[in-house]
Amino acid sequence: MPSLKDLKNRIGSVKNTRKITKAMQMVAAAKLRRAQEAAEAARPYADRMSAVMAGLTANAAGQAGAPRLLAGTGSDQRHLLVVMTAERGLAGGFNSSIVKLARQHADRLRGEGKQVAILTVGKKGREQLKRDYGDLFVHHVDLSEVKRVGYDTARMITDDLLQRFDAGSFDVATIFYNRFETVISQIPTAKQVIPAEVPADAAPANALYEYEPGEEELLAELLPRSVATQIFAALLENAASEQGARMSAMDNATRNAGDMIDRLTTQYNRSRQAAITTELIEIIAGAEAL
């Protein structure tokens, strides 16, 4: 049986915790709104880009001279997994759900006898993958200095990726991130970015366009940009998901703390009452003995 003083301290500390989680929840809510706006603002560019790409790739995919970013290296032995997570924890299952999906992929690919390399973006994923896959790490992108995810961040990651691809260190690159569905639901997603996937339903409808310079030069120029756009979109989705996940995790924590305070307060009142009753009994018993 904890003493009254212990209980009082306990209640105080849980109250402090509740204040912190409440504050974190509100900060996450504010950041979520900003992240959602950023994702919204990036949409017109991404939509147009993918529309143009769809037409171009559908035309070029079957041809012999298609760029390597589209046609691939002709092998799929070496895979690069780009695992994008957050820099900070306390966001529910946000980081672990991405890591779990990446693990499944890595294990499956290795089971098929393929080579796997891992590039991590964000500290949390790196920490979680380090123990089992530490020897597969090829690079880490640190986002702790980045206050707001911008296109230059995506460019930096893409440039690094393309350099590795040009140097021939992998055949297929897949990015892992959380797709933002709603505040309470984020879906871990794997998306192949290199070689570019040709949308199945893309008909060569853009055939009526005039291309300047030629179609192939244009494609060669647009493919790297399209990769950058996809990575940028993934980073933005991830940022929104992180805040969403943190917000709901902190909401749960706040509610939990509230319940705990209620329980502890009840217990505190009971023990106080018990102490008073004991004292009364002692006094009455003493009086009767006289």
Residue in 29, 46, 71, 90 binding other proteins, rule: CB under 8 A: 46
CA distance 104 to 78: 16
CB of 199 to other proteins, least distance (A): 17
Near other proteins by CB under 8 A, which window of 8-16, 43-51, 103-111, 121-129? Answer: 43-51
Asked whether the beta carbons of 169 and 117 are under 8 A apart, the reply is yes
CB of 256 to other proteins, least distance (A): 38
Nearest to 160 by CA among 180, 145, 175: 175
CB atoms within 10 A of CB 6: 12
129 versus 196: smaller Cβ distance to other proteins: 196
- Shortest Cβ distance from residue 247 to other proteins (Å)? 23
Q: Is 212 in the site for other proteins (CB under 8 A)?
A: yes
> Any contact of residue 190 with other proteins (CB under 8 A)?
no
To the nearest whole angstrom, how small is the minimum distance from the Cβ of residue 3 to other proteins?
59
Nearer to other proteins, 29 or 49 (CB): 49
47-55, 121-129, 268-276, 278-286 -> range binding other proteins (CB under 8 A): 47-55
Structural contact between residues 130 and 282, judged by C-beta atoms closer than 8 angstroms: no
Burial 109-129 (b: 16+ CB within 10 A, else e): beeeebebbbbbbbbbbbebb
- Is residue 232 a contact residue for other proteins (CB under 8 A)? yes
67 phi, psi to nearest 5 deg: -60, 155
Identify whether the C-beta of residue 179 lies closer than 8 Å to the C-beta of residue 241: yes
195 cis-preceded (ω within 30 degrees of 0): yes
Residue 137 vs 151, nearer CB to other proteins: 151
Q: Burial level of 279, CB count in 10 A (0-12/13-18/19+)?
A: exposed
**Is residue 225 near other proteins by the rule CB under 8 A?**
yes
Find out whether 161 and 175 touch, Cβ atoms under 8 Å. no
End-to-end Cα separation, the chain, in angstroms: 33
Give the residue with the Cβ less far from other proteins, 25 or 229.
Answer: 229
> Minimum CB separation from other proteins for residue 229, in Å?
6
Q: State the binding string over 137-176 for other proteins (x if CB under 8 A, else -).
A: -------------xx--xx----------xx---------
Residue with Cβ nearer other proteins (110 or 155): 155
- Residues lying near other proteins in the complex (CB under 8 A): 38, 41-42, 44-46, 48-49, 52, 150-151, 154-155, 166-167, 206, 208-213, 217-218, 221-222, 225, 228-229, 232
